[in-house]
Amino acid sequence: MYTYKSEIFWVSAKAFSDKASDEDAAALDALLNERAAEGWELVTYDYMATSIQIKGAFIITFRRKAE
């Protein structure tokens, strides 16, 4: 049995570009490493763009064995 946890991970504003920034990648690495240290495993993620495509976020789901 697992316990699941979902988080919203906001990315920086994009002006005329859909490319990821080095800062976004570093922030994502930090989040993943922090959750892994807490015993969470990445299960899935999905990008959620805004209607005007300027700023978006990921919904990230983690799991770990239920205690």
Residues 10-65: tens digit of each pLDDT? 887 666 566 678 888 899 999 999 999 999 999 999 988 766 666 788 999 999 99
Q: How many CB atoms lie within 10 A of CB 50?
A: 11
Using CA atoms, how far apart are residues 17 and 41, in angstroms rounded to an integer? 31
Question: Max alpha carbon distance in the chain (Å)?
Answer: 46
Output the pLDDT for position 7. Answer: 96
Whole-number pLDDT of residue 14: 64
pLDDT at 43: 97
Query: From edge to edge, which strands make up the β-sheet containing 56-65?
Result: 2-10, 56-65, 41-49
Alpha helices in the chain (DSSP H): 22-37
